[in-house]
Amino acid sequence: FQYKKTRKLENIRIYSNIKTMNYSHDDDDEDDEYSYGGGGTTHHDFSFTGKWGEEDEEDDENDHEMNKNDDLEYQDNQTIIEECKEVFKGKDFIMETAAITKVQKFLKAEGKAEDFVALLAENYHGVAQLANLLADWLIVAGCSVEEVQEIVERHLKDLIIKNFDPKKADSIFTGSGQPPGWIEEMITHPPWRIMFYELSDKYPDCLMLNYTIKMISDAGYQTEMGTMSSAFNQIDVFSKFMKTFILNFYTQPSSEIKNDFIKSVCHGKHTYLYAQCMLNEISMLLEQQGLSNACLNWMSQEISTRASKLGHDIWPLVLLGMGAGKHPRVYLALMSLVEKKSLNPGDITVLYKAYSVADPPPAKYLRIPAFLDLLVNALFQPGSTISADHKPKYLFLMAYAVSAYEQWEEGIRESVFTEEVKQTLKAIEVVHRICSNDVGSSTMQLTADFSLIYQCIRYPIISVGIIHWIKYCFSDTHYHKVITDSSPFQVVLLDEINSSHPLLHSRVLELLKELFERNYPQLDTLIEIEFKKTLIDRMIHMLSRGYILPVVSYIKDCMDKQLSDVSLLRHFVVEVLEMIAPPYSPDFISLMLPIVKNKEITDTLRTSSGEDDVSQFLSRCENG
């Protein structure tokens, strides 16, 4: 917070330079002589002949016109002087950048210098200087410079947002014919960029704000714009935002897409359609060059799924964008299923007939996540109501969607390989038969089926179905039938899923978190704690399979929010410290160190010799 403290003195010095501005008046007319007819003395001869001559009449008219012009000029000057005086009465006007210009205008209108000096001095309050003084006091009192700067910036930002007038802002922007120079300086600081984002969302039609957002985008801050949506009415800004996000995501794939990005893409139908077209075009270019486009296809599907969950009606755009319009019956059947969010035999039969012929439509139509979720819910849930006549159609469509392979060349499908469809279909049938049994089947029957499930887990769709089945088994109405001991075999299956399918780690962790945070009133307290310890063991296994930071982050949240018994957190620390070794990444240390430092958790684990795992971990972290 730098203020121009000397501006007041600079403005006051104007008074001493009045003579250089050519607005002073000479009073030396007393020595002028007007001589009429010769002689050394002044002689005034006013002779009248009784009536005015023609020349006298012309002179009189000229004098009248001059007097009239003088009166008008005087009135204009008086108006300017009064306007300037009103401006000079403004609080701390001497600190404004327009002060010198107004003073010059005032003097040019023959205003008195004493008047403007008096008005500027009387209305000087020194708010900026007082702010600097208070800031200095805070620093002397012990606050850091960064803390004081943050306080001042936050207060200024709140004042600007509260009193912002888009019309005045636009007048400043358009009046000079070019944007103010201070905007370029402001956008280099994160707090002011955030302020511009908030103002832009509040006043989307403000020209100055729209131009500022474009400047921010051009300066390379596109990744920050996920928090705002109004800026994406500008196609060039949205294009740069998409480009930056796609490049970052493609070079550093993640298992999730941030909600801010989804919100930005779903700002309107035009932004959603533009984003999907961009992803589709890039995906096709990568495919033509023989490069993998799976990451972009997944991103496109994830955007559609998340947009649908937000309540947006995007399925017509999704299907038409995929080219489903070329197959009207398939298009209508899928539209009916995904919009109603329920399966029906009629539409399933239409799809079965379309894909059981020699030249079926592209398999990508069946790979819409919303449609696959409907199939999973129907086939891997106990008490399924699918009729025996239509069940083979459901099973076939799922198997075909996840295992059919198509070879494309320049947008034309050359061949379809369905050899794996039969094997996948058999695996789905086996697991469907097991999962459709009522929860609470005899332990002997479940043990006999255990090996069959293990053999089928290698299929990703089977693992997805088992996760859904486990979630149903541990629901509020069925968990007491399943948790007969501390380690139900359904939970142990999650270890095999984690080992076989890294892309399902996030789903498994979400399930474990849900089970861990739930209360089980029908269970004995000791059995409940032992069961939750089993869930912790599953998380530790995930950590051993490379899913480290999300697991440790969740355990830290449990500690911070007191979501867990201390004994369970202590069990996690003991097991993890036994399996890890340095060097540790900074991200891991930032999450794990607060847990290990918690005395309530680790005090009983430490020894006086300092040879225990806790002491060694702390020592290594402190010594780098």
**Distances 80 to 105, 107, 116 between C-alpha atoms, Å:** 8, 10, 13
pLDDT at 204: 79
Q: 59: which residues sit within 8 A by CB, 6+ positions away? A: none
Distance in angstroms (rounded) separating the CA atoms of residues 135 and 156: 14
Q: Report the chain's C-alpha Rg in angstroms.
A: 40
Residue position matching structure tokens 């955007």: 303
Residue position matching structure tokens 């089977």: 462
Name the residue type at position 142. Answer: G
- Start-to-end C-alpha separation, the chain: 37
pLDDT at 227: 56
Q: Give the distance, in angstroms, between the CA of residue 133 and the centroid of all CA atoms in the same chain.
A: 37
**Distances 258 to 190, 236, 264, 362, 600 between C-alpha atoms, Å:** 20, 22, 10, 30, 35
Tokens of 22: 């050519």
What is the three-class DSSP state of 389?
A: coil
* C-alpha torsion angle, residues 88, 91, 97, 103 (rounded to 10): 10
Q: Are strands 412-417 and 405-409 parallel, antiparallel or unpaired?
A: antiparallel
What is the three-class DSSP state of 445?
A: helix
Long-range contacts of 162-167 (CB under 8 A, 24+ apart): 164/199, 164/202, 164/203, 166/203, 166/205, 166/206, 166/208, 166/209
pLDDT at 521: 87
pLDDT at 538: 95
pLDDT at 330: 94
pLDDT at 228: 62
Q: 459: which residues sit within 8 A by CB, 6+ positions away? A: 402, 424, 427, 428
pTM over 0.75: no
Q: 26: which residues sit within 8 A by CB, 6+ positions away? A: none
Distance in angstroms (rounded) separating the CA atoms of residues 190 and 170: 23
| 3-state secondary structure string across 468-494 | HHHHHHCCCCCHHHHCCCCCCHHHHHH
Q: 358: which residues sit within 8 A by CB, 6+ positions away? A: none
Half-sphere CA count of 30, side-chain side, radius 13 A: 2
Helix (H) or strand (E) holding 406: strand 405-409
614 burial via Cβ count (<10 Å: 0-12, 13-18, 19+): buried
Q: 362: which residues sit within 8 A by CB, 6+ positions away? A: 322, 323, 406, 413
pLDDT at 372: 93
pLDDT at 266: 80
Distance in angstroms (rounded) separating the CA atoms of residues 149 and 135: 8
pLDDT at 21: 38
**Distances 357 to 227, 334, 362, 418, 421 between C-alpha atoms, Å:** 48, 18, 12, 12, 14
**Distances 29 to 32, 34, 47, 135, 256 between C-alpha atoms, Å:** 5, 11, 25, 58, 89
Q: Give the distance, in angstroms, between the CA of residue 154 and the centroid of all CA atoms in the same chain.
A: 20
Consecutive sets of 10 residues in the chain, 624 residues long: mean pLDDT of each?
39 38 40 39 41 50 55 75 88 85 87 87 88 90 89 89 88 73 86 87 83 83 65 75 80 66 78 86 79 81 82 84 89 93 93 92 90 93 84 95 85 83 93 81 58 89 94 83 79 92 94 92 88 94 94 95 92 94 91 93 87 89 76
Distance in angstroms (rounded) separating the CA atoms of residues 537 and 571: 9
